[in-house]
Amino acid sequence: MFVDVLGSVAGAITAFTFLPQVIKTWKEKSAKDISLSMFMIAASNNILWIVYGILKSDWVIILTNAAVFSMAVTMIVLKFRYNK
């Protein structure tokens, strides 16, 4: 029981890992120090996890990685826009 709650909490936090960086970059309009390749690798990896989740019919994996994917793509857009 405790371990399932722990997994759900950790999964929920994982889904929003990139959110603080999205907010900071959005506010400060500066992304020079941000690694584009990190977010490109992360976004591609999320796609692998989403396919994995579909094959396993595991909605937690699908939804967690869809959330991370949307934020990784947002960071890629912000990086191109505010790369000065």
Q: How many CB atoms lie within 10 A of CB 68?
A: 22
Whole-number minimum distance, CB 62 to its own copies, in Å?
Answer: 13
Residues that bind its own copies (CB under 8 A): 2-3, 6-7, 9-10, 13-14, 16-21, 23-25, 28, 30-35, 37-38, 41-42, 44-45, 48-49, 51-52, 55-56
Q: Provide the minimum distance between the beta carbon of 44 and its own copies in the complex, in angstroms, as a whole number.
A: 8
Least Å distance, CB 59 to its own copies, is 16
Question: Which are the contacts of 63, defined by CB distance < 8 A and separation ≥ 6?
Answer: 15
Nearer to its own copies, 19 or 77 (CB): 19
Nearest CB to its own copies, comparing residues 41 and 77: 41
φ/ψ (deg, to 5) at 58: -110, 100
